[in-house]
Amino acid sequence: MSYFFSEIEQQQYLDDGFVFRESQFSQEEIISFRKIFEATVEKAHSISDTGKEYFLDKKRFVDIDYLTLQYEPEPHDKYLKVIEPAHYLHDGLDDITSDSRITDPIKSILSTNEISLWTDKLNLKRPKVGSGFGWHQDSPYWVHDSEDVESLPNVYICLDNADQSNGCFSVIKGSHKLGCLPGTFDNSQLGGFYTDKDYFNIADAVDLVASEGSLIFFNQHIVHGSTPNNSDQERRAYIVTYQPKDRAMLKSRKVKNIKIV
């Protein structure tokens, strides 16, 4: 069975900058994904004291070889917020990144049948302590490392039901058409990575309320973010970014072509 974009979805991706597919994975599959996810988190915790710790805007980071761990701000700085790239920590993530429900639409976007991995990250937003992500684009993070930032589509895999209460994924519809936008440059260390709000229309914001197992394919230029998790429910996500075959990954500069499943 193939999962390539329909013509309508192709046009939607071009017009809106994202395509949302509801409930693509079964509950049993998502339970398995969560086990892999939590095992990856446990592994990251177990090696965190072997890395180089540093702080940006009072936020804690740890680098271990090609791996970066980002923690929640104080007073919740013992909680992991982001693990990138994650696939080094658990082989089970390779099966997810090569699943045709994910890769077929990516192939539609890139107009190629052979793709490779650019980066992947686990986003944790733990109940009551998970902070939000300010409005930002991915492309400004990558433009200095990729020779073809136009060919780096993302897929967001929902591991939990998500709505406004636990900080669902939100996008500025159509903002991808504006290309790389200026950062805030507010004299903070990370401000340049957050998009200046004068350059997009907040009225175009769309909260993507999603059930577990849903997929959101989104353009590398689209402005996106999320609010904190104020609920008692988890809001975990796995975000994978692809590129055409035989291209080096973001941090390791190694090539990881995606096997055909």
CATH of the domain at 180: 2.60.120.620
Q: Which residue(s) pair with 122 in the sheet? A: 83, 238
37 falls within a domain: no
Mean pLDDT in the chain? 96
When pLDDT is cut at 50, 70 and 90, the band that residue 260 belongs to is confident
Residue 65 lies in a domain: no
Tokens 């949302």 identify what position? 20
Q: What pLDDT score was predicted for residue 261?
A: 61
pLDDT by residue (tens digit) across 150-193? 999 999 999 999 999 999 999 999 999 999 999 998 878 877 78
Average pLDDT score over residue span 65-91: 96
Report the domain count for the chain.
1
**249 SS3 class:** coil
Residue 45 pLDDT > 80: yes
114, part of any domain: yes
| CB-based burial label for 40 (10 Å; 0-12, 13-18, 19+) | buried
Q: Note whether residue 127 is domain-resident.
A: yes
As a whole number of angstroms, the distance between CA 55 and CA 113 comes to 41
Cα 32 to Cα 78: distance, rounded to the nearest angstrom:
25
Question: What percentage of the chain carries pLDDT values higher than 90?
Answer: 94
Owning domain of residue 205? 7-25+92-244
Residue 50 within a domain? no
CA distances from 48 to 55, 60, 129, 179 (A): 14, 11, 20, 36
Whose CA is closest to 229, among 150, 163, 146, 175? 163
